[in-house]
Amino acid sequence: MNVELLKKICEVAGAPGFEERVRQLVIKEVESLVDHWEVDNMGSVITVKKSKNNPDEKKVMVAAHMDEIGFIVTHVDDNGFIRFHTLGGFDPKTLTAQRVIVHGKEDLIGVMGSKPIHVMTPEERNKNPKNTDYFIDLGMKADEVKELVSVGNPITRERELIEMGGCVNCKSIDNRVSVFILIEALRQLDEVPYDVYGVFTVQEEVGIRGANVAAHSINPDFGIGLDTTIAFDLPGAQAHQKITSLGEGAAIKVMDGSTICDYRMVEFMKQTAEKNNIKWQPEVLTAGGTDTAGVQRMGKQGSIAGAISIPTRHLHQVIEMANKEDIDSCIRLLKVSLETLDQYDWSHR
């Protein structure tokens, strides 16, 4: 596995609406792998790998979002401390004492600060933290901060990718691991029966915005979402709560909070995994959504849509973790699925 490429993809900054750095990295990787690429008005990268024999001009859209959860500067106070608003979902307790990068006129390392426990009242110690309890400390004088940082600047988490056992651990595994999977699948694809639109979308973490627009433009017949999913295979979790487990293979989505996957696509993926000895597990996620919803619903006729999910521990924290063998299974399942879509009976039955 090309861990060095995954490391670059995960570590580069790209908060929702500010995906320019990761977009340039994606373009550099994919421009030689596809027949055509373009950037739409929202900033999603739309690539096309054409079929050599596709008389009905059928299209399949694969969506992997480039953005990561982050923050945006809302205020710089007279002491140089920064207040912020979240871009995407955060569990406030995971912010304590974490390093971040404020992308002002230059990149500045900051730390999430909050009231020290030593001076908290008993009531404050016992309450759950809120995002508004935190501020960002750059360790700089106020006039220096105000010269370099403006309201509206994006902020991302600071954490490098490391390998741990059979896993990779980094900020932004959600969803840069899917960006990596889509790039590697495009690299490995042989002949495809239908035109493949590999789309690297923007602003998923704040409402599936890029995927909605791209699907409306492409109008795909088939759709495949690529995203992380919860692996709650941790101490204290009961079997029915796990959603997925690390090391048990690619997750084939049945549903999430925004999509009920087409039963035909679910069955096709299961059969494809079995025929090709690809390890897989089912995924039923009762809350949360992915680009799959946009791919399924925003084309003019809708699409036959499903999703391949990557089991991930510690989601929406700075230490998200995925298993390398699961990642490989996802690449293989996506590749073979795209190459054999025409070999399945897609009629309603």
Catalytic site positions: 204
Q: Is residue 276 reached through a cis peptide bond, with omega within 30 degrees of 0 on the bond before it?
A: no
Contact between residue 337 and residue 11 where contact means Cβ atoms under 8 Å apart: no
Distance separating alpha carbons of residues 115 and 283, to the nearest angstrom = 40
Strand partners, 35: none
Torsion angle, CA of 243/244/250/252, rounded to 10 degrees? -20
The two most distant CA atoms of the chain are separated, in Å, by: 72
Distance separating alpha carbons of residues 340 and 41, to the nearest angstrom = 32
Dump strand ranges (E) for 171-244: 195-201, 222-230
CA 300 to chain centre: 25
Distance separating alpha carbons of residues 67 and 87, to the nearest angstrom = 10
3-state secondary structure of 282: strand
Contact between residue 224 and residue 307 where contact means Cβ atoms under 8 Å apart: yes
End-to-end CA distance of the chain: 40
Dump strand ranges (E) for the chain: 36-39, 45-49, 59-65, 70-76, 82-87, 99-103, 107-113, 135-137, 154-157, 162-164, 167-170, 195-201, 222-230, 250-255, 280-284, 304-313, 320-323
Contact between residue 113 and residue 98 where contact means Cβ atoms under 8 Å apart: no
Q: Kind of pairing, strands 195-201 and 59-65?
A: parallel
- 312 φ, ψ (degrees, to nearest 5): -140, 130
